[in-house]
Chains A and B, each alone.
Chain A
């Protein structure tokens, strides 16, 4: 039920909800903290590669849900205590587009 509610929320145009300051924080967090497992260049480590190629067939909404809820049975934690839904969707889109 919670995931359904999350999914509904995520269908909102969330990109607009992340201001430039928050975006900078999220970018730093993505590179440094997500990079601990996925690599600074997102080519993978203990975690899967998150390059645009690797995510070519993933939907941003789905990625955002994985970020928020984690993947049971793996080392991917739920980031819901730290990130809002808008944050997660911003990160999903950022990964899809690829860091510069």
Chain B
């Protein structure tokens, strides 16, 4: 599908080509990132233009989102800066309900005249579609919040840090990696600031300032004599934090097994570059895994992705109901299973929570993109499926009358819809450490960081690889291994959960560009957990000779 509104950046090494990075907006200079944009009073005035026109044309509901989306991406490889991109995207998206049907239109002409035209188009679309509408839109009630605001609780705004300082840090990490055995390194820093204003005909005027950051590093070691190459991803995570995330703090370091250093709410990019280069080199000669059943000890920066795919997505109510059937798919976690009140999503150790308020997470905001105040709620309690993720126009279908507050749009230019909140596995209540996970394993694998991932359209069958993998034998780490991927079924997997580390090991994994919807939109979401063991999982060998 052609994405005309994205500039694809594909210059950051071969790996990037397979997953182009969508950059939305126009390029600006760094100083403009600090420009405050329109005053709140002006935004309110402009939003009211849309709301008043919509009401006048027969809309029973309307909302307007005036958004200023700022991105700064710094791309480096080895000893050079490839590119620095600053973008700003500014415009308004107007959503209406007319004749019981949604209509949406957006424009970057944020003048009263531009807003009028966009509102009229949204109404025209709603009216055209109402002719074939058979399920009238029903909105769960939400109170008008009046004039309110919310800001990500950051310590240091990444947009205020000079590009030169960021470049120096990235190039130092690259230099250290090259000195320690890397042949290539790609190091990218993404900084995002969403300045979002939401207004609705129900009396909400919400101003929010949202910040996110992601240092994305890939280190490659090559053995030209054998033609082999191996890559190791950085072990930092995308976070809902400011530049403070990149200021190392020893109290935020977690010592993993096999000598692996892991990070909680602060990341040491340079130390990780050194370790990553050494580990990439070690991978070139690590043995290949014997396929079979293994006990898996999964580190949070790895398990977070498994939670994302096998819990986060299947419990999106729009998927369950069939709204995503044509793209991402539906879900095995159907309403009839939930209605029994005893569907064992996992065993009694497994507690999974949705949370749009978790400090430092990518999904944290004060209010969602349809003006609902955010909260935390249970999805799976003591192993039993207890709830889904739902927004205003769908929550009545599970006999609830309050939206869960997880509606999101990637920009003013796209319509908002249900997106995954942060979904996390609660830490264990017993005082277990990482060593406690490993010491009673006869035959197992310790997996760190994200690797290959794939899951079916109803979220039953999945296959995951990892960044670093170590074989465990008789309670001890034996050696680094290659070519392992585990295949399982969601319900079987979560019912094989054997032991969970306590809260001292709890950390967040993040997905910066999670895709969903048509036209496809990205969103950012975190998944927290502690190191967890799953017993008797099928592991395949992915090595091939060509």
Are A and B a genuine interacting pair, yes or no?
no
